[in-house]
Amino acid sequence: MRTLVLQQPGTFRWDDRPEPAPAPGEVLLQVERVGICGTDLHAFDGIQPFFSYPRVLGHELCATVLRPTGALREGDRVTVEPLLACGACYACRHGKYNCCARLQVLGVHTDGGMRRRMVLPAQLLHPAGNLPPEQVAICEMLSIGVHANRRGSVGAGMAVVVVGAGPIGLGAAQVAHAYGARVAIVDAVASRLELAARLGCERTLHVRETDVTAAVGDWTGGDLADVVICCVGDAGVIVGAVDYVAPGGRMVLVGLTDRPAPFIPSALVRKEVDLLASRNSRGVFPEVLRLVRERLVDLGSMITSVVPFADAAGAFAADRRLSQVKTVVDLSA
Kindly tell me the burial class for residue 9, based on how many C-beta atoms sit within 10 Å of its own C-beta (0-12, 13-18, 19 or more).
middle
Q: Are residues 180 and 128 in the same domain?
A: no
Angle at 61 between CA 84 and CA 29, to 5 degrees: 80
Residue 290 maps to a domain: no
Query: What is the pLDDT tens value at each position of the chain, 333 positions in all?
Result: 999 999 999 999 999 999 999 999 999 999 999 999 989 998 999 988 778 899 999 999 999 999 888 899 999 999 999 999 999 999 999 999 999 999 999 999 999 999 999 999 999 999 999 999 999 999 999 999 999 999 999 999 999 999 999 999 999 999 999 999 999 999 999 999 999 999 999 999 999 999 999 999 999 999 999 999 999 999 999 999 999 999 999 999 999 888 888 888 998 999 999 999 999 999 999 999 999 999 999 999 999 999 999 999 999 877 666 668 999 999 997
Same structural domain, 176 and 99: no
Contact 183, 163 (CB under 8 A): no
Output DSSP code: residue 174: H
Which CATH number fits the domain that encloses residue 202?
3.40.50.720
Contacts of 10 (CB under 8 A, 6+ apart): 44, 45, 46
Same structural domain, 112 and 170: no
The 8-class DSSP code of residue 20 comes to: P
289: in domain: no
Q: Is residue 245 part of a domain?
A: yes
Residues 64 and 101 in one domain: yes
Is there a single domain that holds both residue 249 and residue 131? Answer: no
The DSSP bridge partners found for residue 157 are none
Angle ∠(21,22,25) on CA atoms, nearest 5: 170
For residue 228, give its domain range: 143-277
Instruction: Check whether residue 250 and residue 318 sit in a common domain.
Output: no
Q: Specify whether 131 is located in the same domain as 147.
A: no
Q: Is 248 inside a domain boundary? A: yes
Amino acid at 15: D
- At residue 7, the pLDDT reads 97
* Residues shown for the chain: 333
pTM: 0.95
Say what the pLDDT of residue 47 is. Answer: 84
Angle at 156 between CA 154 and CA 160, to 5 degrees: 50
Sign of the dihedral through C-alpha 294, 132, 34, 174: negative
Q: Could you tell me the CATH number of the domain that includes residue 307?
A: 3.90.180.10
Rounded alpha-carbon distances, angstroms, from residue 201 to 48, 135, 151, 211:
30, 21, 20, 18
**Number of domains composing the chain:** 2
pLDDT value of position 258:
85
Among 112, 32, 30, which Cα is nearest to 66's? 30
Q: What is the bridge-based pairing of β-strands 203-206 and 125-127?
A: unpaired
Give first-to-last CA distance, the chain, whole Å.
14
For residue 164, the tally of other CB atoms under 10 A from its CB is: 27
Return the pLDDT at 320.
Answer: 62
